[in-house]
C-alpha cells in the first residue's frame, strides 16, 4: 500500500480555513508542506495558478515569501516559493518573550535543578492528559491519530502519514513553544519521552527531524516494537 497522508488539504480547504483570505491560506500551505511551486499551491488550495501567482508577488513584496529556482528534470528550472523568517513569524511562539524571561530568571535565581523540576511537573501533567485520551484506544495507529489531533489543537499543526514500510510519521509543522525550547532544550527531551510513554510499550518513537537543529519541522518515526529496525 502506498503512503497515506492524513493531513492537510481538507484542513486548508474546509472549516475555518476556508474563510481565510487566499494569502493566509498560501502562508498556511507553505508552513504545513514546505516549499512549493505556484501550480502546486493552486492545486492544493483549489484556486487558479494565476491567482496564486498574484498573491505570491504581493506576499513577496511584504517580505513574507521568497522564490528560488530549482532544477526538476529536463526543461527550465521551476520557481519554488517558501516562507521567509518574517513569514514564519506569522505563526507566533506563544508568549515567547515572557516565557524566555521567566526561564532565565528561574535558572539564574534558583538554579538548573529548579528548572528541571518545573519541566518534570509539566511533563507529568501533559502525560496524564494525553494518556486519558489515548489509553482506551487499542490500535497503535488510532493512538497516533489521536495524538496528532491533540497536538494540532495545541497549535503544533500536527498530522501523520503512513510510509510504504508500515511505519508512521508524526509531523509537527509548527512549534508554539519554540522560544522556550530554544532557551531550555529539556522541553524537547520531555516531549519525546511523553510520546514514547503515551503511545505504549508496543511502539518505538524516534525523532527524525528537529526544528531546533535547523529542520523546517519536527517529525517522529513511529514503528511497532517488533518491526522496528535494531538500534546500533
**pLDDT by residue (tens digit) across 78-119?**
889 988 888 887 876 666 677 788 888 988 999 999 989 999
Cβ(204)–Cβ(228) under 8 Å?
Answer: yes
Helix (H) or strand (E) holding 66: strand 65-70
C-alpha to C-alpha distance for 166 and 163, rounded to whole angstroms: 5
Helices (H), the chain: 9-13, 22-33, 38-45, 49-61, 85-88, 96-110, 112-134, 140-151, 178-183, 186-198
| Mean predicted confidence (pLDDT) in 178-199 | 90
C-alpha to C-alpha distance for 200 and 217, rounded to whole angstroms: 24
Is the pLDDT score of 231 beyond 60? Answer: no
pLDDT of residue 103: 86
The CATH fold of domain 96-224: Muramoyl-pentapeptide Carboxypeptidase; domain 2 (3.30.1380)
Is the pLDDT score of 151 beyond 50? Answer: yes
Q: How confident is the model at residue 227 (pLDDT cuts 50, 70, 90)?
A: low
Collapsing DSSP states into helix, strand and coil, what is residue 121?
helix
Location of each CATH 3.30.1380 domain in the chain: 96-224
Collapsing DSSP states into helix, strand and coil, what is residue 118?
helix
Cβ(44)–Cβ(31) under 8 Å?
Answer: no
pLDDT of residue 123: 93
Location of each CATH 1.10.10.10 domain in the chain: 4-88
pLDDT of residue 195: 97
Question: Could you give phi then psi for residue 4, rounded to 5 degrees?
Answer: -110, 125
Collapsing DSSP states into helix, strand and coil, what is residue 197?
helix
Find the radius of gyration of the CA atoms of the chain: 20
C-alpha to C-alpha distance for 184 and 214, rounded to whole angstroms: 16
Cβ(199)–Cβ(150) under 8 Å?
Answer: no
Is the pLDDT score of 141 beyond 90? Answer: yes
Is the pLDDT score of 226 beyond 50? Answer: yes
The CATH fold of domain 4-88: Arc Repressor Mutant, subunit A (1.10.10)
Is the pLDDT score of 198 beyond 80? Answer: yes
Q: Residue 67 corresponds to which cell in the numbers above? A: 522564490
C-alpha to C-alpha distance for 106 and 103, rounded to whole angstroms: 5
Amino acid at each position: 500500500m502506498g503512503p497515506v497522508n492524513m493531513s492537510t488539504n481538507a484542513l486548508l480547504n474546509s472549516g475555518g480555513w476556508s474563510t481565510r483570505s487566499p494569502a493566509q491560506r498560501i502562508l498556511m500551505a507553505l508552513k504545513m508542506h514546505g516549499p512549493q511551486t505556484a501550480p502546486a499551491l493552486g492545486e492544493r488550495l483549489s484556486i487558479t495558478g494565476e491567482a496564486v501567482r498574484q498573491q505570491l508577488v504581493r506576499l513577496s513584496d511584504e517580505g513574507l515569501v521568497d522564490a528560488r529556482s530549482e532544477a526538476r528534470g529536463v526543461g527550465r528550472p521551476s520557481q519554488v516559493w517558501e516562507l521567509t523568517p518574517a513569514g514564519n513569524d506569522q505563526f507566533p511562539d506563544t508568549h515567547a518573550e515572557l516565557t524566555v524571561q521567566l526561564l532565565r530568571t528561574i535558572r539564574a535565581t534558583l538554579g538548573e535543578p529548579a528548572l528541571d523540576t518545573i519541566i518534570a511537573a509539566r511533563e507529568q501533567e501533559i502525560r496524564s492528559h494525553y494518556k486519558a485520551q489515548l489509553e482506551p484506544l487499542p490500535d497503535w495507529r488510532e493512538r497516533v491519530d489521536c495524538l496528532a489531533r491533540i497536538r494540532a489543537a495545541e497549535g503544533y499543526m500536527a498530522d501523520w502519514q503512513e510510509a510504504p514500510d508500515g511505519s508512521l510519521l508524526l509531523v509537527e509543522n509548527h512549534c508554539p513553544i519554540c522560544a522556550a525550547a530554544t532557551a531550555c532544550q529539556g522541553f524537547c527531551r520531555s516531549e519525546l519521552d511523553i510520546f514514547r510513554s503515551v503511545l505504549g510499550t508496543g511502539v518505538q518513537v524516534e525523532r527524525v527531524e528537529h526544528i531546533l537543529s535547523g529542520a523546517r519541522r519536527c517529525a517522529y518515526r513511529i514503528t511497532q516494537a517488533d518491526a522496528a529496525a535494531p538500534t546500533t
